[in-house]
Structure 1
Amino acid sequence: MKIGELAKRTGMAASAIRFYEARGLLKVASRQANGYRDYPEDAVAILAIISDAQQAGFTLDEIKQLLPADVSSWQHDELIGILRRKVADIEVLQTRLAQNKAHIQHLIQLIESKPEDMDCQLNASRVMATLGLHLEP
């Protein structure tokens, strides 16, 4: 199939398809006599895998390691190992994000607990002091 049809079927721009091909994620398409790329039917599935993997947080280099030379020859144990490592990476990120969220929520609480008669500059000093920081006068 030509790149226009592949783009339509996948919802990807032709430039993105060419980019994935140039990066080695998608097999280089054969060329027709007129020079047009001719993609095999499995290119639709490969591009869907690439898109899904990117949305799951895989880098292009990780995706390249994931994709076998031939879709029918996926190495089960290797694939499971890569996917488990990504789950572990996501869990570490979730922990870090939860800590960041808690820190920001604490900061919001500190700022919002400003006494009504306190001006913003004094409140900023109070918040910074609570955090163990000091503002320069």
Structure 2
Amino acid sequence: MSGGLRSGQVAEAAGVNIQTLRYYERRGLLAEPERSAGGHRLYTQEAVTVLRVIKAAQRLGFTLEEVAELLEAGRHRHGRPVAGVQQRAAAKLAEVDGKIADLTTMRAALAAAVEAGCDDLTVCAEDPCCPIPFTGLAEENRHAGSGPVQISGAPRR
């Protein structure tokens, strides 16, 4: 292979550092490049594209393991659409929507606690006017296998 890209060139073009490039090689996300006569790694332009795809998939919330599965499926598609990409994207979207809903609930409770001046959770747990949702915690923890929680009621203002 003559005229390949060196590690620094690939990393810069893809917006990653060289350690990230090597890490993805070790993980098998990026094919090991050919070597020059002097032993330097020489990459194709495709390596830049693969790195950009990896980073984009990570920004969308896919784990490196999920990215590896998507890349592997793409390598074996031979011009056909990759089965499951739409399904995986839809599942990831549902996961993100769930996290947003949870964060929205958390934000509302925290904003109400700040506005109410809640300063001591133990005192607040005994006040029915507290905006922090202590009552749902016992049920959540029971499902998580940690047993019932003794806190009930609402915190004090």
TM range (shorter): 0.7 to 0.9
1:88 partnered with 2:91: yes
Per-residue deviation at 1:43? 0.8
1:61 match: secondary structure: helix
Q: Percent identity?
A: 26
Q: Look up the match of 1:55.
A: 59
**Structure 1: gaps spanning 5 or more residues:** none
- In structure 2, the residue matched to 1:112 is 115
Task: Show structure 2 runs of 5+ residues with no match.
Answer: 136-151
Partner of 1:32: 36
- In the other structure, the counterpart of 1:8 is 12
Partner secondary structure for residue 39 of structure 2: coil
Does 90-99 or 48-57 show the bigger shift? 90-99
Normalised by the size of structure 2, how large is the TM-score? 0.65
Q: Are the equivalent residues in 1 in contact too, given 2:34–2:42 (CA < 8 A)?
A: yes
For 1:102 and 1:38, locate their aligned partners in 2 and report how far apart those are by CA, in whole Å.
Answer: 50
Query: What TM-score do the two structures reach when normalised by structure 1?
Result: 0.73
Structure with more helix by fraction: 1
Give the drift of 1:100: 4.1
Query: Cα RMSD between the aligned structures?
Result: 3.2
CA distance 1:41–1:107, shift in 2 (3 Å)? closer
Q: Distance in 2 between matches of 1:131 and 1:51?
A: 39
Whichever residue aligns with residue 47 of structure 1, its letter is L
Say whether the 8 Å CA contact 1:67–1:74 is kept in structure 2: no
How many residue pairs get matched? Answer: 129
Moved more, 121-130 or 91-100: 121-130
Contact 2:110 2:132 in 1 (8 A): no
